[in-house]
Structure formats: structure tokens, C-alpha cells
Structure 1
Amino acid sequence: MQSTLKVNIPESKVYIILVGILSTIVVYYNIFIGIPSLLVFFYLIYHNYKALANRNREWIKYIEDLSLNLEHMTKETLLSFPVAMCIIDNEGSLRWYNDKFLTLSKSEEMIEKNIKEVFPSYDSSKIFLDENEAFQTQIEADKKIYEVKYNIIERENEPSLAAIYFFDVTELRKITKEYEMIKPVIMSIQVDSFDEVLNSASEDVRPIIEAEVERTIKSWADRFKGAIRKTVKDKYIVIVDEGSLLELEKDKFSILDDIRKIEMGNTIPLTLSIGASSLSTDLSSTLKNAVTSLDLALGRGGDQAVIKRDERSIFYGGRSKAVEKKTKVKARIIAHALRDLVNESEKVIIMGHHYPDLDALGAAVGVYGICRMLGKSANIVLENSNTSIDVLHNRLIQNDSFKDAFIKREDALQSVDDKTLLIIVDTHRPSFTEYPSLIEKCDKIVLIDHHRRGVEFIDKAVLIYHETYASSASEMVTELIQYVKDRPYIDNLTAESLLSGIALDTKNFTFKTGVRTFEAAAFLRKFGADTVAVKQLFQGDLDSFLVKAEGIKNAKILGGKIALSTCPENLENPSLIAAQVADELLNIRGVEASFVVARRSDGLVFISARSLGSLNVHLFMEKLGGGGHIDVAGAQLKDTTTDEAMEKVEELIMEYFKEDDE
């Protein structure tokens, strides 16, 4: 076969033509020699024709044999293909399948049967919707996991078919799961305010408390097969694997409760803060995420665990109140740092949260007073007043000292330059500020806030004063005023603004009120804060009183201890009314927490939550995108109705009851 192909190569035609030309020339010169030459020439033509015909017959036979062999081999290959496969039409009906598929399905006579009947969990309809779509899925059959892939078989003038392949990935999934379970998890642990806890106990039991705390943490780490290392007196690093972390989550970090049970004469309870991180891109990033998670736990008041997994932060615990720090060293240090930043800046812009309350406005006015003491020009960003601050705002703009204090958003943005200092009060969430664009444009930012820290945070701040134990931002600013200058002085209107903020967030010194809260109030009273004038800031008109009465009337008690109510629709000041109704509901005997839903005329829904301290309303509101404290929290919902908001809150309450029962 190969020799024939070599003889009948195209060059033979050239040789024959040359012979023909030479024979013709010979005939011209000598006919006796030329005629035999022509005969040889004709014989060569005949021989070449015969050879070519034989070659074509042999080639056709070879192709036919090869086709038959290929067809046979293809059939044999498909039938004995080591992967289960089948062919379906565009309706999902089986048109063909191999032996492996038959074994996998454990069925017989499946031709024309829909693949959905064989594998109910497999949806083949998406295959023919978009042939370019990378559609694949997995199924479980015979206690094994199969990854399903396909390719489209195009046919002329007929509907397309799809060849589907079932790859056994059981072992791969098992190995992957085992790998996932052994990935390292780093936890950074800190005993909250350990020095203050020890100082609250007598000297003879302090070493016993330290030893008991260390023993409890090490026993807990050993129970979950973790490697533990004590770094300093109150800090530990624990390394476990992902499987142990899942067990810790099921256990809901019982170590938080175990530590709280340690009582050996300490008047301040022991609590832990834990920051954990699953494996990130590398161990260095994982450790960094663990430390960041610990900072987040501490910023939320401590006594909780925060897990960083992928891009999510998961929270456990956080049911106890942050312990008030008796020392004011940090306030003095922050005050001196703030003074230096203000003196270095040519202009100061002060900003609170959107739809400000008396605490946000009071704290802003207090910072404005600090700037005036230091001889620096400052402005408070406020686009529009609202019903909760109208009375105080009117008093301020009518006072000569504050007539130029307030500035609109765009004016503030236009005035920003390299030497502008932005001071944010009463919020740490960029999206909650009066004008988030200012944060992006300003290089120097100071943050003063008392709310429990959420995932969203202003990380670019150069100075952060974030204390969750403080009653209000106004209390924090009042302490800064005392240390920012040797002989501080503020006018009576500034003092009243700050006192109104403290009164608002403490509900007239009832909730979240510590020793330092009363000290701040005494300082403000010393500078002329009139308690009657502050009381008048909280007065409402008759219509508001009737609306509150309607909200109280609508209340229902869930589980005998949680009050849930709604206010009339389309209120102009829903946040204030809802907060006041929530406060009133706590006066009902047996009620430990209250939730009130109110809707503004533009459709924005406000939820106010209050607690006597036994139930952490912050955790409820955080799930709705809000925040706050253990006993005072709130949330705002867009594009929802009052009834829908009520349903969401009630679902959270029912979920709480279920977890509490468990």
C-alpha cells in the first residue's frame, strides 16, 4: 500500500511528459528509432493509468475498512466508557446510554424515559435554554456524589441532542472536606478590663482569680484540641482547626458563660472577648483578621466572640453591659491629642449622623465649644433640622454665638482643603453620617462615638475615641472639655445642649448611667446648664401626646415580657414618637423589652427598641441593619410597610424565644 502511494506520486506525470517530448523529437530525426520510443511512451501511459486505478481501489477499501473499524471501536468505546453517560433530547428524554449509566441508575428499559424520572434532583431544562451557559450541577446516587457536565450535539435539520457525563467525585469531595476541616483557625482572646476586675477584689484572692481564669481558658482550648499560648497577663492566642471552630459555634462559645461564673470576691464580673479568623490567603493575614475581629468585639462592648469568615463577620454572645471605666486617663490623653489636631488645622468641620437627635447635636455643639476655646473657626454640618432637635436648633441659631455655626453639606464640601479637620460624633458608620462624601475628601478625621461597633467602621480616622460604656457622645465630649484646656469654659447654651444629649440617651439618668455620667452632668450644671430648660426640649404638643397614646394602646405583649407596638401612619417625627412610646412601654409590669414601629410620611420606617438590660436589643436591631446599645437601639428600613416591619420584628422575637428555650 505504501509503495503504491510512493510510485504514483505527482512527479511521475512529469517524467511521462518528458518521455513523450523526447520520443517526438527522436521521431523527427529518426523515425525508425522514434516509433519504438512512442510505443514505450504509450505503454508508460497505460501502465500509469492501471497503477492509479489499482491505488484508488486499494485506498477506497482501506477507508471502508477503517470506517467499519472506527464505527466498531466507537461503539465499543462508548459502551465500555469508564464514565456514566447518556444522550437526551431537548425534552429531557433518554435517547441512548452506556452500561455505566445503567449501573448508576439501577433501572432497566429507560429509552424515551425522562431523565428527571431517573434522577429527580437533576434539572436538564437549562441545558437547551442557553448553550453557551456553563451549566453544571451535582447529584447523589447510590451514596456517591457525581458531578454532571454536558456538551451539545448539533444535527442538520433536526433538534439538537445533549451528551451528559456523570463523573464520580465522591473521593474528591471527601478529601476536600477533610482539607477544609483541618485548615487552621487563629483566635485572639482578651480578658475584658482585667486590671479593674482584679482591683475590685481583695489582694489575697487576686492570684487565685488569675489562675482560675487561665485554667478555665486552657481547659476549654484542650477540650477542642487547640494549641494555646498566653502572651501577656490578660491575652491569649489559640490555634484550632476549622472542624473545631464549627464545634465551637455549635457550642455557642460556652467559654463566655464559664468565665462569667468565676466569682471570688470580685465586684466587677469577668468577661472575655474573642476574635477568630478562618484561614485567609496566608497565616499572616489570618492573624491580622483575628486581631481585627477582637477589636470589633471590644468595640461592641466585649463579652462576645466575633468570627471573620471570608468577607462576613459572625457574632456570638454580647449579652452583658460594658463595664464603666473609673479612670479618666484615656479621656485626658484623647483631649490633649484632639487639642493638638485642632491647633494644627486651619478649619474644623463637625458632623453627626443623618437625621440627628439631641445627643448628636449636643455633642457637635460641645466640640464646637472646644474649637472656640482654642481660637479656631469651626462649622457644624446640618442640611435640615427635624422635629426631635427643632427647639434646640432654634435656640442656637437665635444666639449670636451660634448664628454662623451651621453650614450646608455642599458648602462644607467646597470648603475642605489639606488643612481641614473633620470631627465625627455619635456614629462610627460612614453611611450613617450627615454627608459621607466629606469622609472621602478629608484626610484628617477624628471619631467620637459610644455605640457598639458594627462591621462598617471609619477606619481612616487618625484619632478614635470609641467607648461603649459611655452613656452618650455628649458625656464623652463633656469629659474632653474638662481636659482640653487648663481652665475650660463653655457658655450655658453649650452646657444645656450637652446635658440634653445625656438626658436623651440615659432616659433622664435611668438607663446606662454610671458615676462618670453624673460627674459630667455636675460639670455642665456648674457652667449654667438649666435642668428646666433641658426638660422643655423634650416637651411635645397635644397631637404628639395623642399619637403616643395610640401607640401604647396598640401594644401587645409577647411571651409575657416583650412589648411590640406600632404608631399611626405617616408621622412627621416617627423616630422621636417611637422612642417615647418604647420608653413608656417599659413601665408596664413584667415587660423587659419593647419594640415600636413607626412610618414617616416619605415611607421611611423607624424601629425603636428599649430594654431594662436583661435582653440585648442591639442584637435584634443589628439583624435589621441598625444598631445601638444593649438597652437602647434602633433601625431604619426603606421600601417596606409598617406591617412588613412588624412581621420582621416579631420573627426576630420568636427566634429569640426559641433559642432561649433551647
Structure 2
Amino acid sequence: MRKNLLMKILTPDTKLHLWIISFLVIIIAYYNRIIGIFGLLLVAYLIYHNIKIQYDRKQLWTKYVEDLSSDMDSVTRHAILNSPTPLTVVEFDGEIIWYNKNFSNMFKCDDLLEKNIENIIPDFKLDHVLREKEKYNKVIIEDRCYNLLYNIVKTDKEHDRRYIIMLYWVDVTDYNNLMEVYYNEKPSVLIIEVDNYDDVLNNVNEENKPLMIAEIDRRINLWCSKMNGIVQKYQKDKYIVFMERQNVDTLEARKFTILDEIREIEAGNTIPVTLSIGVGLRGKTFTETREYARAALDLALGRGGDQAVVKREDLIEFYGGKTKAVEKRNKVKARVIAHALRQLIDEAKEVVIMGHKFPDMDSLGAAVGVYRAAKNRGKDAYIVFNKSNAGIKILHDELVESNNYNFITNDQLLDMVSKDTLIVVVDTHRPSFTQCPEVLLKSNKIVLIDHHRRGAEFIDNTVLKYLEPYASSTCELVTEILQYMNDKINIGKLDAESLLAGITVDTKNFTFKTGVRTFEAASYLRRAGADTTNVKQFFQDDLNTFVARAEVVKNARDIGRQIALSICPRDIQDPALVAAQAADELLNIKGIIASFVLGYRGDDEIIISGRSLGDINVQVILEKLGGGGHLTVAGAQLSQVNLEQAIEKLEESIDQYFEEGEDE
């Protein structure tokens, strides 16, 4: 501040000079009056001259600024009127009060004043524009695409101050067209695998095998050539295909018709040929796109095959998968899994077995089977179990009373688990569905054994995975593993009955999804001491549950397409058990091929049990609602919805299922 004051004092100033001259003239006049008078006249003239110069200079500056403002206004008006960007000024109600020539050219019309802009542009709402912070994308006018920017202006009129809206229409049609061409021509990767290649060829006469192989190759090559794709067979049953993304969109629109075409091949085979297709899209690199395709193929195979899975980063879509998974008669994989599991158990500090929330017979029975395998290897084993339910109460009580099984809760599990703990997850592959999802992050050794068709959510960090959708139950898979863990039968009577109970429940007393290996597993358990009479007693219900199930069946209604729908009352106990049993019972009604039963679980969750005789895939229907399961048995849980909304969502999913089937 002192420096600025000093500079101001030392800076030359005309007024300061005049003051100094006046002071000196006064001093001179004191000594010589004549010279003083002459000096005063001279000072007066200088003061007059200075004032005149300052006034003239101010006038010139004012004129310069006015002329410059006038020039700027002229330039601004010219720029706005002749702007290459269409401009419009509207009132808040949408009335057009001004526009430039390029805006009128958009409509090939010159008379737009005082018209409402919403009436001129179809489906255009001004309030939608104002809700956006900067722009309102994709306004389509006369086959042109515009990004819309706006600016709200306050007028300066003294007696008429109001707000108006300036709209800037940026034509992005060419840019969008270029982007569309870019995305349409991006390469995509498809990996195709024949699901049952060996089984089909083994089922064909020797002279027909070359014809079968040639026909499979021909149909796949023809299908790819129609889509302008490049196909390369790199193994006897595997193909890799490269094609543009726009052609994949066509395949999706047609629901991958190759799945049906391959199934129609007949060369003396009794087993239909099926494909699994993994499609990778939108990868940042070719390598990433290929990895998407591999992940999609794994997902398709994990869901039972005979389907296509399209993976775009985090988005996954499914096509097909409406047929039953073909049973694999070769037990080589079961033997390999058994030996690998035995080695992992031997290396582990302890073994923890965990099923899904709200456990059923299959989940508990499989856990008991793996528990016995670990104990036979001399390891400490624990079964995670938080809460029982009516469906497994009798079996669980017997297991507890025997004092031969260690059950622990989530809190106990989190305190004891370490990186050396082997965690075996049975009867589910979804992390959020397990008894304790948090523990999956605390161990590096996770084994997965499941028979459900794979969904988008999956436990990825497994050291061993045994996922076979063809199997009737997880208990069937565990039983086969036990056969190869030791040379002789080394399981107890209650172990065998637990496993048999799980198979019995999931096959509905050996009527659904039952293959040769299912009966072989049951035979092994029978030899191990399983008593079918005791197993039947595990399923006994109390009188209230029996009456509630009968009431649900009584209130069922046919919603069309040979589908029955019923509701569990809110006040019944064990709604999940009643809903599942009632859905099974409804299939005994003549003319019903699928059933859905809804029930309440708590105040904000609706459960759905779906059953089918095989003609309708209830798993695909309920998967759209976040559920899962199998072709004939599936379930789902809906949160934050009421019963009416849940029924509406279910009916929409059913309609969509049949619409997709008709499209195919």
C-alpha cells in the first residue's frame, strides 16, 4: 500500500503541475505585483486550456465507445442471423418469438412466429429440455438428429423484464451415422461347441459317422456364411467364428436359429445334436472380446448347453436353453473330481461345507455327504447351518441327536476360517445365495458342487468346480464322488439316507429329471444301508401344513396356456414349503403342464415356486425375475413388491417366454 501511494505521488499529473505553478506565481506576486499579475493571467489560461482539453478528450472517448458498441451490435446481429447453427428464442410456454434462417430451413417453412415449438416438433417437450443440465440429446427432425443446448436469458427492458429461452440446435446426424457404422463393423467373436459330440457319434452306425460329422460342419459353415462370418474349426467339436457386430444383432433378433437347425440333423442318431454358443462383444481389444466369448461359452455349458449366451462387458443375455440337459453317461469327470477333492481335503487345515439360504433336503444331504468324505480323510469338518425349516426339520433333528455332525453358525464360521480352510459350497453357485457370502472372501480354497443351470452371478474364485446341470440333484453328484473317494463303501446309514432324501426330493420320487446315473447313485446308497421307509418319514408333514397345501391347491386357477396359478395365505407357517409342495400337487391336475405358487416371506418379500412337466421351462421364466433352477423346478424371490405386483411381473415373464418361443 505504501509503495502504491508513493508511485501515485511521483506520477506526473497536470493538476499537480498547475497547483505548483500557482503557488510559485503567488510567491512571485508577493515580491513583484506586475509580474505576479501577468503570471496569474497565464495560470488562468493554462487552467482553462486544461479543462477544455479534458472535455474534448472525454467527448472523443464517448463517441469512440458508442461507435464501437454500435459496430459490435451490428456484428452480433449479423452473426446470429447468419449463424450456421439453427437458433430459436421461445417463451417458457414454448411460443416462438424469434428464429434465424437456418432454423426455418429445418422445416422448410418461413412462418413459425408465435407458434408453439411443441406443436411443430413431434414428441418434443420443452420441460424435458429444461430438466437437463446442459443438453437434451437426440431430437429427431426431418430425419436429422440434433443435440439441443439452451440458455435462459433475462431481458433488460425496464417495464417488461422477463425470462426467455435461447435454443441452439447442433446437427450431429453425420457424427451419429459415423458412430453407427463404427459400432456395426466392430469385430465380434463367437465360440461354438457341440455339447454331446461323442455321445451322438457313439449312437450312430459306423458308416454314418462321416455323414454326421460332415453335416454338422456344413450347417455351421452355411449359417456363418449367411452372416458374412469367418469360421475355423480348431478341435473336433469346437469352432471359432469372427463376424461384424451388426450381424450378431441379426442373430439375436432371430434367436440364434442355428440351435434349432442343428437339432434337426438326422443320420441314424437317436440323440439330437445340440450346440452351445458363446458370443463376445464390445471388448476394448480383440483379446478381451475373445475372453468375453469364452466366459459366455462357459456360462452356456454351465446352464446345460443347447443355447447361446451373449456377453457385453457386464451385460449378459441368454437365448435358447429350453430343452433338457442331456445326461452324460461317462463317469470319468466324476472320478477326476473325486481325486482332486480328496487331494484338496488332505492339504486343508479344516473343511467347511456350506449350502444355500433356507436349505432344503438336497442342500443338507449334499453337505452331509461332503462332511463324511472329509471325516473319512481324518479332517475336522463343519456344516454351516443357521436356521432350520419345516422341510428339513425331521432330518436335521436326527443329525443333531446322533452327535456325529458339527453344525456351526455364521458368527462361529467367521471367527475360525482362515486362508488354509477348504470351503465346499453345495447346491448353489450364487455368492449371495450362500449361507455366509462374507466367508467366500476370506479363503483361497473354494470348491463348488452344484446341479443348477448357471446364472450370471457366479462364484468365480474356485479351485475346483463341479457344475453339471444334467444331474438330478447335488446329492447325486456327491454320491458319485463318494464312490471314487475310497475303494470301499465307508459311509454311515444316516449319511446314505440323507443323500437319498436329497435325490428323492429333487426328482419328485424319481419321476422328474431322472436318468440312469440317478438310479445307480440310489442303488449305491441302498447298498450303504439307506432305508427307504426312514427316508419317506423325513417328508412327513403335520396336519396344519397338509391342510394349508390342500387349501392352496383348492384356490388354484388356470391362467391359460395350461398353466395353474395359486396363492399361499399370509398367515400360514412355512410358506416356502407349502408353496413348493402345492406347485408339485398342481401338476397332478389333468390339462396342467406347469404351475406357479406365490407366498409371503416376511413383510416385504414374495416367494414363487414354479414346476413343469417339461414342456414349459420354468427356469427361464423365473430367471427373468432374478430366480433360477431347472427346466422343471425353479424358484424366485421378489423384494419390495406387493402380491399384485408380483403376479403382474410373473405374468409378464410368462408372456415374454411364449413370445420368444413363437419368434423362434
* Structure 1 and Structure 2 fold alike (TM over 0.5): yes
Match of 2:240 in 1: 237
1:628, 1:70 → 2: CA distance?
Answer: 73
Unaligned residue ranges in structure 1 (runs of 5+): 1-8
Match of 1:114 in 2: 116
Match of 1:139 in 2: 139
Shift of 1:593: 2.1
AA matched with 1:164: L
AA matched with 1:551: V
1:418, 1:547 → 2: CA distance?
Answer: 46
Contact map agreement 1:276 1:290 (CA 8 A) in 2: yes
Q: Are residue 199 (structure 1) and residue 177 (structure 2) matched?
A: no
Match of 1:212 in 2: 215
1:96 to 95, 98, 118: 98
Q: Where in structure 2 are the equivalents of 1:103-502 lying within 5 Å?
A: 103-105=105-107, 110-125=112-127, 133-155=133-155, 158-402=161-405, 405-502=406-503
1:66 to 44, 65, 68: 68
Q: Where in structure 2 are the equivalents of 1:611-622 lying within 5 Å?
A: 611-622=612-623
AA matched with 2:134: A
AA matched with 1:185: S
Contact map agreement 1:446 1:464 (CA 8 A) in 2: yes
Match of 1:6 in 2: none
With over 3 angstroms needed to count, the CA separation of the structure-2 counterparts of 1:124 and 1:271, relative to structure 1, is same
Q: Which moved more, 1:642-651 or 1:66-75?
A: 642-651
CA RMSD of aligned residues (A): 2.7
Match of 2:81 in 1: 79
Shift of 1:605: 2.5
1:505, 1:354 → 2: CA distance?
Answer: 17
With over 3 angstroms needed to count, the CA separation of the structure-2 counterparts of 1:229 and 1:44, relative to structure 1, is farther
SS at match of 1:158: coil
1:543, 1:551 → 2: CA distance?
Answer: 12
Shift of 1:44: 6.1
Match of 1:536 in 2: 537
Shift of 1:355: 0.3
Q: Report sequence identity in percent.
A: 48
1:547, 1:37 → 2: CA distance?
Answer: 125
Contact map agreement 1:28 1:34 (CA 8 A) in 2: yes
Shift of 1:319: 1.5
SS at match of 2:162: strand
Contact map agreement 1:347 1:376 (CA 8 A) in 2: yes
Unaligned residue ranges in structure 2 (runs of 5+): 1-10
Shift of 1:415: 1.0
Q: Where in structure 2 are the equivalents of 1:536-555 lying within 5 Å?
A: 536-555=537-556
Q: Which moved more, 1:94-103 or 1:422-431?
A: 94-103
Contact map agreement 1:91 1:125 (CA 8 A) in 2: no
Contact map agreement 2:151 2:166 (CA 8 A) in 1: yes
SS at match of 1:401: coil
Shift of 1:515: 1.3
SS at match of 2:404: helix
2:294, 2:602 → 1: CA distance?
Answer: 44
Match of 1:520 in 2: 521
Shift of 1:176: 1.9
Contact map agreement 2:545 2:573 (CA 8 A) in 1: no
Contact map agreement 2:594 2:613 (CA 8 A) in 1: yes
Contact map agreement 2:489 2:528 (CA 8 A) in 1: no
1:126, 1:553 → 2: CA distance?
Answer: 51
1:192, 1:225 → 2: CA distance?
Answer: 24
1:310, 1:90 → 2: CA distance?
Answer: 42
Output one character per residue of 1:479-532: Cα deviation in whole Å (capped at 9) or x when no partner: 111111233401100000000000111111111111111111111111110001
Shift of 1:460: 1.0
1:633, 1:66 → 2: CA distance?
Answer: 79
With over 3 angstroms needed to count, the CA separation of the structure-2 counterparts of 1:90 and 1:129, relative to structure 1, is farther
| Number of aligned positions between the proteins | 650
SS at match of 1:319: coil
Contact map agreement 2:453 2:628 (CA 8 A) in 1: yes
AA matched with 2:513: K
With over 3 angstroms needed to count, the CA separation of the structure-2 counterparts of 1:278 and 1:163, relative to structure 1, is same
AA matched with 1:55: R
Output one character per residue of 1:543-582: Cα deviation in whole Å (capped at 9) or x when no partner: 3222222222223334453233333333322222222222
Match of 2:626 in 1: 625
SS at match of 1:314: strand
1:334, 1:567 → 2: CA distance?
Answer: 41
SS at match of 2:570: coil
AA matched with 2:416: S
Shift of 1:39: 8.0
1:160, 1:14 → 2: CA distance?
Answer: 51
Output one character per residue of 1:203-227: Cα deviation in whole Å (capped at 9) or x when no partner: 2222221111111111100001111
Q: Which moved more, 1:622-631 or 1:604-613?
A: 604-613
Output one character per residue of 1:582-627: Cα deviation in whole Å (capped at 9) or x when no partner: 2222223333222222334655322222222222111011011111
Contact map agreement 1:185 1:277 (CA 8 A) in 2: yes
SS at match of 1:412: helix
Contact map agreement 2:148 2:168 (CA 8 A) in 1: yes
2:643, 2:58 → 1: CA distance?
Answer: 87
With over 3 angstroms needed to count, the CA separation of the structure-2 counterparts of 1:371 and 1:127, relative to structure 1, is same
Match of 1:5 in 2: none
Shift of 1:422: 1.1
With over 3 angstroms needed to count, the CA separation of the structure-2 counterparts of 1:515 and 1:129, relative to structure 1, is closer
2:235, 2:396 → 1: CA distance?
Answer: 49
2:499, 2:639 → 1: CA distance?
Answer: 31
Shift of 1:298: 0.4
Query: Structure 1-normalised TM-score?
Result: 0.91
With over 3 angstroms needed to count, the CA separation of the structure-2 counterparts of 1:273 and 1:443, relative to structure 1, is same
SS at match of 2:452: coil
Match of 2:7 in 1: none
With over 3 angstroms needed to count, the CA separation of the structure-2 counterparts of 1:467 and 1:127, relative to structure 1, is closer
SS at match of 1:136: strand
